[in-house]
């Protein structure tokens, strides 16, 4: 195996004691760090002279949807339920295994991965949906794209199993008979079909590419699938020790849905089904109350915070203080390219550090820069079920790190390294990105693919996307559904509109 020596860097290890070195070396053998410390010396196949650079763990984008990667700037802001209706990713039907459609899936996945590597994001948790249904070919296209680019990727299959109008309150009665019939006729997969696909997915891809690729499971959201599928996914997560992605209480409407459909919050619903455990990554968790937070904490769940997406869609602000006080582990995500419009986790971190200053009068309860940086690194590693060997620089850990140039405006003058990483850095100071001991970004370019050709192909594919005329016809009933939900007093304030 190849060896790599990073020599003379300032080192921020983010280990438990908070070890920092003003100048130190990092010795890497294969995909693992073997030593961190001053003057390590010794021979290596490659040496990176890193004086003036900061070595730190790569960031972990803990929530992402790669099928939206060609959609940045496509839509104005609107509530999630309307946004999902109008969201028209350039997605082709891959059920027939069409090579052009599968190439589109590969290109859009690679495009997002490249953008992340350029910013020092070394790992991504992709909750990938498939249109109209998931297939072996469409799953393979995404996984092969990640394998080729060289990022660390944990990927789930995010597919609903119930008819569209059953995912929402009020909607069925607001639709015309023809609209209901069309929804009932739309393709969707059974739990049995998806579980067969998952077994094959796990067998083929979990641990592939020298361990860089991994599987996760996803129900999308509890209201979007049947109870038996929820339980089966939970069993699969426990059997293989996989993350379980669940979008939870992202909007006020989802709070209302829980009351209307289940007579309880969606988090209580999962708890009562017996599927709320330490494998669960609760995504968003905005419209939660103290009882919900206690359930998340008691079960050992992680919460994925996506503040930029939540602002873009007006969903509200997650109660960071409640989560921290209850001991709920937090990680950070960018969500989709259409609801964040980039993969810039540095901007997500800064937003997280700033927005929660509005939620508590006592500044001692506001997020500290060190907590936010932890969420962007070790918090994400924990969510990926990799907390023991990812997200810190220490012997035995995987060699996922970035080298940040300290001779930039973000660090001039340098007063506090961690604060300036969170409040000042935007990813432009990253000079090298290393994943599993392999240098995948350096000298301003990703080393694994032809970026210029990739961007050109992505532009050409996006230009061929067809408009979604069906969304306009459904806009009125969806808008009325959102209005009815927002008129309901749920006893919580998570936005500037009041309860």
Range from 172-176, 201-205, 466-470 carrying the lowest mean pLDDT:
466-470
| Confidence check: pLDDT of 466 > 80 | no
Sheet holding 213-215, edge to edge: 59-64, 121-129, 152-158, 213-215
DSSP β-bridge partners for residue 24 = 9
63's tokens:
């929530």
State the pLDDT at residue 101.
80
Q: How far apart are CA 472 and CA 462, in angstroms?
A: 21
Which position has the token pair 């003379």? Answer: 8
What radius of gyration, in Å, describes the C-alpha atoms of the chain? 22
Q: What is the mean pLDDT of the chain?
A: 95
Q: How many CB atoms lie within 10 A of CB 414?
A: 13
Q: What is the pLDDT of residues 472-481, one digit of tens each?
A: 889 999 999 9
Q: How many CB atoms lie within 10 A of CB 41?
A: 10
Closest CA to 132 of 153, 99, 160: 160
Closest CA to 296 of 332, 257, 263, 248: 248
Spatial neighbors of 42 by CB under 8 A, at least 6 apart, are 5, 27
Strands (E) located in 136-190: 152-158
Q: How far apart are CA 242 and CA 428, in angstroms?
A: 33
State the pLDDT at residue 93.
45
Range from 42-56, 201-215, 250-264, 453-467 carrying the lowest mean pLDDT:
453-467
257's tokens:
């849905």
Range from 69-73, 167-171, 310-314 carrying the lowest mean pLDDT:
69-73
Q: HSE of 239 in the Cβ direction (CA atoms, 13 Å)? A: 13
> Which helix or strand (DSSP H or E) is residue 458 part of?
helix 451-463
**For range 317-330, the mean pLDDT:** 96
Q: What is the pLDDT of residues 93-136, one digit of tens each?
A: 444 456 678 999 999 999 999 999 999 999 999 999 998 899 99
Instruction: Grade residue 499 by pLDDT with cuts at 50, 70 and 90.
Output: very low
Q: How far apart are CA 69 and CA 107, in angstroms?
A: 9
Q: What is the pLDDT of residues 355-400, one digit of tens each?
A: 999 988 899 989 999 999 999 999 999 999 999 999 999 999 999 9
State the pLDDT at residue 467.
67
Q: What is the pLDDT of residues 337-360, one digit of tens each?
A: 989 999 999 999 999 999 999 988
> ∠ CA 214-293-286 to the nearest 5 degrees?
75
For the chain, the 3-state helix, strand and coil shares in percent, each to the nearest 5, are 40, 20, 40
> Which helix or strand (DSSP H or E) is residue 99 part of?
helix 99-118
Tell me which long-range contacts 142-146 makes (C-beta under 8 A, separation of at least 24): 142/66, 142/105, 142/106, 142/109, 143/204, 143/205, 143/208, 143/213, 144/106, 145/105, 145/106, 145/107, 145/109, 145/110, 145/113, 146/109, 146/113, 146/209, 146/212, 146/213
**For range 179-192, the mean pLDDT:** 94
| Confidence check: pLDDT of 260 > 60 | yes
| Confidence check: pLDDT of 220 > 50 | yes
| Confidence check: pLDDT of 469 > 80 | no
| Confidence check: pLDDT of 39 > 60 | yes
Q: How far apart are CA 152 and CA 19, in angstroms?
A: 25
State the pLDDT at residue 94.
47
Domain 59-392+468-486 has CATH 3.40.718.10: no
Instruction: Grade residue 265 by pLDDT with cuts at 50, 70 and 90.
Output: very high
| Confidence check: pLDDT of 278 > 60 | yes
Q: Is residue 169 exposed (0-12), middle (13-18) or buried (19+ Cβ within 10 Å)? A: buried
State the pLDDT at residue 177.
97
Q: How far apart are CA 40 and CA 202, in angstroms?
A: 39
Instruction: Grade residue 496 by pLDDT with cuts at 50, 70 and 90.
Output: confident
The answer to whether the beta carbons of residues 249 and 256 sit under 8 Å apart is no
Range from 31-35, 59-63, 415-419, 467-471 carrying the lowest mean pLDDT:
467-471
> Which helix or strand (DSSP H or E) is residue 236 part of?
helix 227-240
Percent of the chain with pLDDT over 90: 89
Domain ranges of the chain: 59-392+468-486
State the pLDDT at residue 348.
98
| Confidence check: pLDDT of 289 > 90 | yes
| Confidence check: pLDDT of 139 > 70 | yes
State the pLDDT at residue 41.
83
**For range 247-269, the mean pLDDT:** 98
State the pLDDT at residue 465.
73
Q: What is the pLDDT of residues 402-429, one digit of tens each?
A: 999 999 999 999 999 999 999 999 999 9
Q: What is the DSSP letter of 277?
A: S
């Amino acid at each position: 195996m190849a060896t790599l020596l990073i020599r003379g860097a300032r080192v921020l290890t983010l280990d438990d004691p908070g070890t920092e070195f003003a100048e130190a070396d990092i010795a890497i053998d294969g995909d693992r760090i073997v030593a961190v410390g001053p003057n390590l010396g010794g021979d290596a196949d490659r040496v990176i002279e890193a004086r003036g650079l900061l070595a730190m763990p790569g960031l972990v984008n803990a929530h992402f949807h790669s099928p939206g990667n060609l959609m940045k700037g496509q839509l104005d802001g609107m509530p999630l339920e309307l946004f999902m209706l109008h969201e028209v990713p350039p997605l082709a039907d891959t059920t027939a295994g069409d090579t052009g459609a599968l190439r589109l899936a590969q290109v859009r996945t690679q495009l997002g991965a490249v953008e992340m590597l350029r910013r020092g994001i070394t790992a991504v948790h992709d909750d990938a949906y498939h249109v109209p249904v998931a297939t072996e070919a469409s799953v393979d296209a995404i996984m092969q794209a990640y394998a080729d680019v060289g990022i660390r990727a944990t990927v789930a299959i995010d597919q609903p199993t119930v008819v569209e109008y059953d995912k929402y309150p009020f909607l069925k009665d607001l639709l015309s008979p023809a609209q209901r019939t069309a929804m009932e006729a739309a393709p969707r997969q059974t739990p049995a079909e998806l579980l067969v696909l998952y077994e094959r997915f796990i067998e083929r891809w979990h641990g592939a590419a020298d361990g860089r690729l991994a599987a996760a499971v996803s129900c999308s959201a509890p209201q979007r699938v049947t109870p038996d599928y929820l339980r089966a996914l939970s069993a699969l997560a426990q059997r293989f020790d996989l993350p379980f992605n669940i979008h939870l209480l992202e909007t006020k409407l989802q709070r209302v849905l829980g009351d209307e459909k289940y007579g309880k919050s969606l988090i209580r619903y999962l708890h009562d089904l017996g599927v709320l455990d330490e494998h669960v990554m609760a995504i968003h968790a905005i419209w939660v109350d103290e009882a919900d937070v206690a359930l998340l904490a008691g079960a050992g769940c992680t919460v994925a915070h996506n503040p930029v997406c939540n602002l873009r869609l007006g969903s509200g602000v997650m109660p960071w203080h409640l989560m921290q006080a209850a001991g709920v582990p937090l990680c950070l995500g960018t969500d989709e390219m259409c609801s964040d419009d980039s993969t810039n986790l540095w901007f997500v971190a800064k937003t997280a550090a700033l927005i929660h200053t509005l939620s508590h009068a006592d500044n001692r309860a506001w997020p500290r820069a060190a907590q936010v940086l932890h969420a962007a690194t070790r918090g994400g590693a924990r969510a990926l079920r990799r907390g023991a060997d990812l997200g810190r620089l220490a012997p035995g850990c995987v060699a996922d790190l970035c080298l940040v140039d300290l001779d930039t405006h973000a660090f001039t003058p340098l007063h506090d390294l961690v604060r300036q990483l969170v409040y000042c850095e935007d990813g432009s100071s990253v000079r090298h990105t290393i994943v599993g001991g392999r240098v995948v970004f350096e000298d301003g370019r990703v080393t694994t693919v032809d970026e210029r050709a990739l961007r050109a192909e992505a532009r050409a594919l996006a230009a061929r996307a067809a408009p979604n005329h069906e969304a306009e016809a459904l806009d009125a009933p969806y808008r009325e559904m959102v209005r009815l939900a927002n008129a309901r007093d749920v006893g919580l304030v998570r936005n500037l509109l009041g309860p």
